Structure 1
Amino acid sequence: MNRCAWVKLDEPIYVAYHDEEWGVPVYEDRHLFEMICLEGAQAGLSWLTILKKREGYRQAFDQFDAEKIIHYDAVKLAELKENSAIIRNRLKIQSVVTNANAFLAMQQKHGSFSNYIWSFVDGKPIINHWKSIAEVPITTEISDRMSKQLKKDGFKFVGSTICYSFMQAVGMVNDHTTDCLCRK
């Protein structure tokens, strides 16, 4: 049985992520918030690096509880900058706090963050039919629109490539190649 070509078969955490999470629709707000923050943290790095630090992120950022994160002060941010369990980039750390505020605002405005984010695909996953990984885009018109709107709504580290990767991660698009065992 084949998997998508990007999966590093010698990395069990990567195989598990591909087989159990990637492309599976997520509607739970906190998980969506976690994923948008982790995708932003990945900018310029490999997704494997982030997966290996995922538990560290969960611990460092109070399980991605936005209500707690918005109250982080300079002392907490300085502690995070010294935390080797996460990517210690000041702008990426600050973006989680910024994004927590924007996330809560979108929950308030739209009833849930899920309602807001899934509206970009009319509430249902886009099922693509790529034969090879070479066909899979890194951005689309929808990720461009999402990026522009997220930025307008106060989010950081949400460029179009990050948005498309997020869409793949949370199942807004299913980009498993047609020969992949996870293709459903």
Structure 2
Amino acid sequence: MRSDDPLDLRLAARLAELRTAHGWSLDDLALRADVSRSTLSRLERAEISPTAALLGRLCRAYGRTMSQLLAEVEENGSGLVRAAEQPVWTDPASGFVRRSVSPPLAGLRGELVEGTLPVGASVDYDGPSVPGLEQHLWLLSGRLDLTVQERTHHLAAGDCLRFRLWGRTAFHSPGPDPARYVLALVLP
């Protein structure tokens, strides 16, 4: 069944455009992203909504951040984005909520993202979308177990962790409250 969500429809179309622009077949992309051909086909037809992990794999294959990909399908091109207009995306698998705080402008090297991970939820990324991507995670509330390259950091409200992405990362909200954080991303 095709999604009626306008963001899902624009995202599906953009993913199909990217694959075509790279000259890749569904099989080529499946190998590069380690995602099944049938999943990619259903995604490009907006029959399924992507999870954070799936988007992470596709972004890695295309060499762009998730924020860059989502900015390409957002409708706002101004240097200002009001709080009520900031795009919000929810991972259907984990319940993770991602708010794009920064205005979606191409060519800028930094951006801010707000994340909220429900109690008990986890999101794992096989690798960075852009190797060497610098991130600053500032935990606003709750607790967060963040694994970066095999090392787990146990963060409490107010803690800030700066790191570069080269390998696997995993986010886990142990509770008792959801983990809410601001993530600053800086392209290498």
Please report the TM-score for the alignment, with normalisation by the length of structure 1. 0.23
With CA pairs under 8 Å and 6+ residues apart, which has the higher RCO, 1 or 2? 1
TM-score normalised according to structure 2 size: 0.23
Q: Which has the higher strand share?
A: 2
